[in-house]
C-alpha cells in the first residue's frame, strides 16, 4: 500500500497516495496519485512547502511524464 500524504490547498486539505518524494532545504518535491483522472492522467508532480502547502502542481500526467517532470525539477532545485 502507498503512503498517504495530506496536501493543503486554498480549497481545503486533500489526501493523496504518495509515489515518490524528494526533500530539499525549503521544499518537498512529490509525485502523487489522484483518486480520479484529472485532464486525462492519474498522476501529478507537485512542489510543496515543508508544511505540505501546495506551491505549484502539474496535473493530469501518466506516470512516465510525472517521473520526467519530477527529475527535471529536482535538477533545478539542487
pLDDT digit string (tens) for the chain, length 78 residues: 679 999 999 899 999 999 999 998 899 999 999 877 677 789 999 999 999 999 999 999 999 999 999 999 999 987
At 42 the pLDDT is 92
CA 75, 26, 1 angle in degrees (round to 5)?
Answer: 75
Read off the C-alpha cell for 28.
518537498
At 70 the pLDDT is 96
Residue 5 has φ and ψ, to the nearest 5°, of -120, 150
At 50 the pLDDT is 95
Determine the Cα–Cα distance for residues 56 and 45; give it in Å rounded to an integer. 8
Amino acid at each position: 500500500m502507498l503512503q498517504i500524504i495530506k496536501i493543503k490547498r486554498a480549497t481545503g486539505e486533500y489526501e493523496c497516495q504518495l509515489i515518490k518524494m524528494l526533500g530539499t532545504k525549503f521544499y518537498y518535491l512529490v509525485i502523487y496519485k489522484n483518486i480520479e483522472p484529472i485532464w486525462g492522467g492519474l498522476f501529478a508532480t507537485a512542489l510543496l512547502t515543508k508544511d505540505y502547502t501546495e506551491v505549484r502542481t502539474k496535473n493530469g500526467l501518466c506516470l512516465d511524464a510525472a517521473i520526467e517532470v519530477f527529475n527535471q525539477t529536482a535538477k533545478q532545485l539542487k
